[in-house]
Amino acid sequence: PQPMMDMPLCDYFIESSHNTYLTGDQLMSTSSTDMYTRVLLMGCRCVELDVWDGADDKPIIWHGFTLTSSIPSFDVLRAINDAAFVASPYPVILSLEVHCSYSQQEVLARQMREVFGDQLLLPAAPGTRPPAQLPSPASLVGRILVKASTGPPAKRQQRRMATAAN
């Protein structure tokens, strides 16, 4: 039987992955784009990207302040795009934990628009009235959604300075 997917998105349990990029433990393991492919092919619909400042103004995905390896955000986005709708047509949610500077956030936004194109769900135009309820998975078939969390820039800078001093 076909699942009912016409209720608001918040009415569903969503298969999610934490630290999606890691191949093992959270302290010293390798990060890999293959992990995004793997979880999406297994039916996961929400993947995590911990975004940090990388060299040459290119954001990286990394489990900060650990010995894990990092991977370029652009490579991660391409891997997600390639596998996003193979196992399921329903939306994929990118759960961003943003630790990078505003300039690299802008780079990440450009990368997402380049990789996902029209699949990327963009916010409504300013002044547009918000919908009365969230859209349904059925209305979001083939779409990439972004949710992000970030601390105040001053707090992030204080943490970085405190860590560097130790």
Catalytic sites, residue numbers? 18, 63
Contact 86, 43 (CB under 8 A): no
Which residue shows structure tokens 């956030």?
105
Residue 110 neighbours by CB under 8 Å, 6+ apart: none
The alpha carbon of 40 is separated from its chain's Cα centroid by a whole number of angstroms, namely: 13
- The 10 Å Cβ neighbour count of residue 52 is 19
Q: 69-76 — which CB contacts under 8 Å span 24+ positions?
A: 69/29, 69/30, 69/31, 70/31, 71/21, 71/31, 71/32, 71/33, 73/49, 73/108, 73/111, 74/111, 74/115, 75/33, 76/21, 76/33, 76/36, 76/49
